[in-house]
Amino acid sequence: MRSFYSKSCGHFFHWVCFFILLEGFLSMGLPPNKAYGQLCETLRNQIEEGGIPFKKTIDGEIIRSTESLPKFYEMNAYQPVWVEQKGRRERVDEMIRALQDAEKEGLNPNDYHLTKIQEILKKGFEVTSEEDCSNHNRLLALEILLSDAFLLYGSHLLDGRVNPKAVDSQWYAEQSRSDMAPILFNAIQSNEIQKTLQDLVPGQPAYGKLKEALKRYRQIAAKGGWEAVPFVNKLQKGDSDPRVTLITQRLAAELGDVDAVPEEPGPASIIFDDKLETSVRKFQRLRGLSDDGVVGQNTLAAMNRSTQACVKRIEINMERWRWLPRDLGERYILVNTANFSADVMEKDHPVMTLRVIVGMQYRETPVFSHRISYLVLNPYWHVPKKLAVEDKLPMLKKNPYLLMKQKIRIFRNTGIEEQEIDPRVIDWSKVTKYNFRYRLRQDPGPLNALGRVKFMFPNRFNVYLHDTPGRELFDKTVRTFSSGCIRIEKALDLAAYLLKDDPNWSPESILAELDKNKEKTVKLKNPMPIHLQYWTALVDDAGEVNFRNDIYERDMNLIRAFYQEPPQTVALLKP
């Protein structure tokens, strides 16, 4: 507790607060009524007694903004901002409208005391005497609950409802964890409650599209959603089966293809025809499935995911957008590992979209942001120690010649100088991961695992973007084949884009350098921000809602945390 809260300074503080309040009353055209002054004094006492962090319940409601609430009232000299002598101020209605809009952001208005606030307002109040305790207490509760509602809701819009590091061990993106107290103070001074809160919402178009998708799927759910289709065997074009009608209705409910639904049931309605195959292929593409037009187990499982499950997926992916910084850069690269894609963005709009290959389930690509500072043409591949002992050592034990055919050289670690050794002279049967003292390096060339170029943003995970000789893997629907790095399609096109501001590196000069087959490091004049992210729900350029498989099983932990009671918000900027 700060020193001016001590008893020795109590009288001095009382008089300072009195004159500040008196000035406030006169500026609002209010008389310095004794009963109202008592309300102000009680507010100060309540805040001080709650301590920092604030540890009191108000009318049965837990206060979540445990640090920013007392800080705000200290900034505002403990003057109430939501109530006055005759009851509530006009901004209360504005705040209620803002809280009601929380649902549009995929958040629960009742996390922010909305029901309790409305209950207090229905009872009505006006402080007319010192003995009018019930009205006095309702005013006090309304004041504190509304402030906590603004602070908590604002922090959820700005930084997210859930701390990502608490639910995902591979989520390393930095969050600002902004101080909401000055934001509320400025909102009161400018008398712009709703606008201030709306300004905290992510401004990227992708978030706005998910917001519209959320509205649409809630409407579908309100109409009854869709009926589950039982699995007996796979269905494809030409089949006759009663389930065809159910599948047609199911797809029409989500895709809006009402022309595919027969007006009256009959023999024709159970035939798997061309129209239904087209709808099935579209559905499969929107779910990230192989679009073969066949309704098998995977396709049917995706069809039978309920509307409420779709709503939750959209809500948690809106949450993931709130975890990101509001300014991603004028130009940046956005990698969505769950979608196996990378978008080169200019002013939040894609100018290049590339397919990518990401980490396997047991070697996940992490989530973080950085800046590509240089690229390497004709790179050597320095095999990481983990891969050397887990992947390459078993190959050496079977046949030392295998690595030689791949142009991988072996060096013995001997201090400053490294000595290349012939793999045939080593008894690999005696080498284990515990006594492995070698370094493996693959020469540049067509066999190199990094392809012709790598894009570097040095980080603790040793993860980067790179080309690959295995381009046939880009045709796979699920592309989890790497050890954590991101293999990128059309790597030379990306290299030309990143170097377009450098007059020394035209597309022709890049190809000429590659023909030399020697490693060359090129520093970028303008480092490019890159964001490795994970979204399992997204809206494409055509406005279609896409869902992706949760390849790293990250959704369930987030869903459990997202629908729990909100945590206390204790993070503040450093003084």
Question: What are the domain boundaries of the chain?
Answer: 3-192, 226-305, 328-560
Between the CA of residue 312 and those of 106, 318, 319, 537, 566, what are the distances in Å? 9, 10, 11, 10, 16
Q: Let me know the angle formed at the C-alpha of 57 by 51 and 59, rounded to the nearest 5 degrees.
A: 140
pLDDT at residue number 419: 85
Write out pLDDT tens, residues 368-410.
999 999 999 999 999 999 899 999 999 999 998 888 999 999 9
Question: What is the CB neighbour count within 10 angstroms for residue 407?
Answer: 15
Helical pair 68-75 and 133-159, crossing angle rounded to 10 deg: 110
Q: Name the catalytic one among 113, 156, 466, 531.
A: 466
Distance between CA atoms of 296 and 254, rounded to whole angstroms?
Answer: 19
Q: Which of 1-5, 196-200, 483-487 has the lowest mean pLDDT?
A: 1-5
Distance between CA atoms of 95 and 566, rounded to whole angstroms?
Answer: 19
Three-class DSSP category at 374: strand
Label residue 170 by pLDDT band (50, 70, 90).
confident
For the cut 80, the answer to whether the pLDDT of residue 45 exceeds it is: yes
Distance between CA atoms of 56 and 50, rounded to whole angstroms?
Answer: 5
For the cut 60, the answer to whether the pLDDT of residue 125 exceeds it is: yes
pLDDT at residue number 2: 38
Nearest to 433 by CA among 395, 390, 400, 396: 390
pLDDT at residue number 568: 58
Q: Where does 226-305 sit in CATH, by number?
A: 1.10.101.10
Nearest to 171 by CA among 180, 181, 160, 179: 160
DSSP assignment letter at 443: P
For the cut 70, the answer to whether the pLDDT of residue 567 exceeds it is: no
For the cut 50, the answer to whether the pLDDT of residue 159 exceeds it is: yes
Label residue 132 by pLDDT band (50, 70, 90).
low
User: Are 226-305 and 328-560 the same fold in CATH?
Assistant: no
- Given a contact cutoff of 8 angstroms between Cβ atoms, the answer to whether 108 and 51 are in contact is no
For the cut 80, the answer to whether the pLDDT of residue 153 exceeds it is: yes
Write out pLDDT tens, residues 502-518.
999 999 999 999 999 99
Write out pLDDT tens, residues 187-233.
999 999 999 999 999 999 999 999 999 999 999 999 999 999 998 89
Task: Classify 328-560 by CATH class.
Answer: mainly beta
SS3 track for 17-43? HHHHHHHHHHHCCCCCCHHHHHHHHHH
Q: Name the catalytic one among 40, 370, 485, 531.
A: 485
Helical pair 133-159 and 181-190, crossing angle rounded to 10 deg: 110
Distance between CA atoms of 147 and 141, rounded to whole angstroms?
Answer: 10
pLDDT at residue number 261: 57
pLDDT at residue number 181: 96
Three-class DSSP category at 182: helix
Distance between CA atoms of 548 and 302, rounded to whole angstroms?
Answer: 10
pLDDT at residue number 18: 43
Choice between 134 and 64, residue whose per-residue pLDDT is larger:
64
Identify whether 17 is a catalytic site residue. Answer: no
Distance between CA atoms of 135 and 85, rounded to whole angstroms?
Answer: 10
Three-class DSSP category at 78: coil
pLDDT at residue number 40: 83
Q: What is the dihedral of CA 490, 495, 496, 499, to 10 degrees?
A: 170
Query: In terms of C-beta density within 10 A (0-12 exposed, 13-18 middle, 19 or more buried), how is residue 35 classed?
Result: middle
Question: What is the CB neighbour count within 10 angstroms for residue 529?
Answer: 19
Distance between CA atoms of 488 and 456, rounded to whole angstroms?
Answer: 13
Helical pair 307-322 and 133-159, crossing angle rounded to 10 deg: 80
Choice between 66 and 21, residue whose per-residue pLDDT is larger:
66
Tokens of 234: 């796979």
Label residue 172 by pLDDT band (50, 70, 90).
confident
Q: How many helices (H) and strands (E) does the chain have?
A: 20, 19
Identify whether 113 is a catalytic site residue. Answer: no
Distance between CA atoms of 381 and 406, rounded to whole angstroms?
Answer: 11
Length of the chain: 575
Label residue 56 by pLDDT band (50, 70, 90).
confident
- Given a contact cutoff of 8 angstroms between Cβ atoms, the answer to whether 150 and 184 are in contact is yes
Phi, psi (degrees; rounded to nearest 5) at 143: -60, -50
Write out pLDDT tens, residues 547-560.
999 999 999 999 99
Segment 19-40 mean pLDDT? 54
Distance between CA atoms of 340 and 317, rounded to whole angstroms?
Answer: 16
Q: Helix, strand, coil shares of the chain as percentages rounded to 5?
A: 45, 15, 40
For the cut 80, the answer to whether the pLDDT of residue 272 exceeds it is: yes
pLDDT at residue number 164: 92
Choice between 430 and 35, residue whose per-residue pLDDT is larger:
430
Distance between CA atoms of 570 and 575, rounded to whole angstroms?
Answer: 14
Nearest to 572 by CA among 90, 12, 75, 53: 53
Q: Among 2-6, 39-43, 462-466, which range has the highest average pLDDT?
A: 462-466
Helical pair 133-159 and 114-123, crossing angle rounded to 10 deg: 150
For the cut 70, the answer to whether the pLDDT of residue 1 exceeds it is: no
Segment 143-159 mean pLDDT? 96
pLDDT averaged over every residue in the chain = 88
Three-class DSSP category at 202: coil
pLDDT at residue number 23: 46
Is the pTM higher than 0.85? Answer: yes
Nearest to 302 by CA among 542, 550, 477, 480: 550
What is the distance in angstroms between the CA of the first residue and the CA of the last residue of the chain?
A: 16
- Give the helix ranges, DSSP H, for 399-551: 401-405, 491-498, 507-515
Q: What is the DSSP annotation of 451-466? A: TTEEEE---TT---EE
- Given a contact cutoff of 8 angstroms between Cβ atoms, the answer to whether 183 and 379 are in contact is no
